[in-house]
Structure 1
Amino acid sequence: MKPVLILQHLTQDGPAYLGHWLHDRSVPFEVFNTQAGEAFPAQVGGYSALAVLGGEMSANDPLPALREAERLILQALDSGVPVLGHCLGGQLMARALGARVVDSPRPEIGWQRLRIRSGAEARTWFGEREEAWVFQWHYEAFELPAGAIELAHSEACPHQSFAIGPHLAIQFHVELDEAKLHAWAGADDRRFKAVLGEPSVQSGTEMLRDAQHHLSGQQALAAHIYSRWLSSACA
């Protein structure tokens, strides 16, 4: 099998559980971290699938690496290489497909309840779940591109996931593992502090407390999503 291509925007926002899941199944993968000075590949042709990770920047920021990610997303969409976008990655998918990324109605940070819509496509990606607790960290959100099937929503954000054929965009962080959670729970940035106290924003202490109830369930959901994503991977 050709390796999976993973686009990483920030050193602190690595593949985490996605990397462990691929490694445990002996699926080869290559990670390119632009913050570490690694340029993204010019082509996706040598890869079986494409995953785009998150980042604290806006998808609308005029950063060359973001536009390169969008170019690779479109290449993958055109060539049938399945794409999975996590948070910022999902927003870049939406932008590449002509949809807007705008301020979320409310920021979502920490463990939030996801409502999964009915329908065959949602069951394909999320199983028989009607809801799930997932980890969020976003201030902006995507609108739906033309031809997309909406799969999930939350109380604070109407568009949490969309699919187009074998390609999936999600607004949340199913790649979270315990190490990433502990690093993020210690965040001390001004923007985060400014929204603490909103009902859709958890403190670091609350994130760690609720992980005892939700992290294993989210990883089971992630495993289902990753399996569906790679089921269409190029050999």
Structure 2
Amino acid sequence: MKKIISLCLIIGALCASAAVLSSCGKEQVPGTVSTTTSASTSSTTETTETTESTTNTLPITMTFENTDIVDSLEYKFYARLLKDENGSITGVAVQEWKNAEATLDIPAEYVYSGKKYPVTMVGFYATLVKNDASGVKEVIIPSSARIVSQKVFTNFPNLEKVTIAEGLETIEAHAFWKCSKLSDITLPSTLKSIGAYSFANCSSLVSITIPAGVTEIEPCAFSGCTGLKSVTIPAAFKDQVDSIFKNCGDITFNFS
């Protein structure tokens, strides 16, 4: 009889544990957020609203540390406020273009709460056009920009021309990856760093000049650029051209 009672107690404990586990929900992977968000706007003022979906949603202003997503009818894109460790706004990143256009002309300034802030970052670690980017043919990057973010123009199939003003310092990994029709781009003299695969598979590029001020070019930055015929590049990278321009075919290098 005692054995039967003990067995019943064990079974009951196991059932209770299973019930607790089943109520915990889906575990979130560190560094990711499972959320549905939207930015709302008023015709008279710029606003930042936090909108919760019906399931497992975090406020849009809390998605990333020290940043807020804002929207205004005055601009064609959602913006992300960039803040320092004290919470002060230092600049703005172009988060996402609302509707794809033939020319994405990025402004140098963004007005928020009556103050002007420089647009210092193009993109924020994701594509600039979330839906169909096939209509984009030209991108204009202002002198205020310091960083072109990772993956921001990845696989823009009809992007042909990129104009970059002096001032840009960093082009991050995969920034223009698979822009197969990109043929017209001039890198500014202020550029210092070019990330891995940043121009990989840009097969319409025929020539490119790497400015003398560039001190870092990561492997495969121009891999698969099968149309490249002429490259001007600082002599410091002479021993790295095989990895930088992997699978590109015959290229004439001019070392500066």
TM-score by length of 1: 0.27
Please identify which structure carries the higher helix content: 1
TM-score, scaled relative to structure 2: 0.26
Structure 1 or 2, whichever has the larger Rg, is: 2
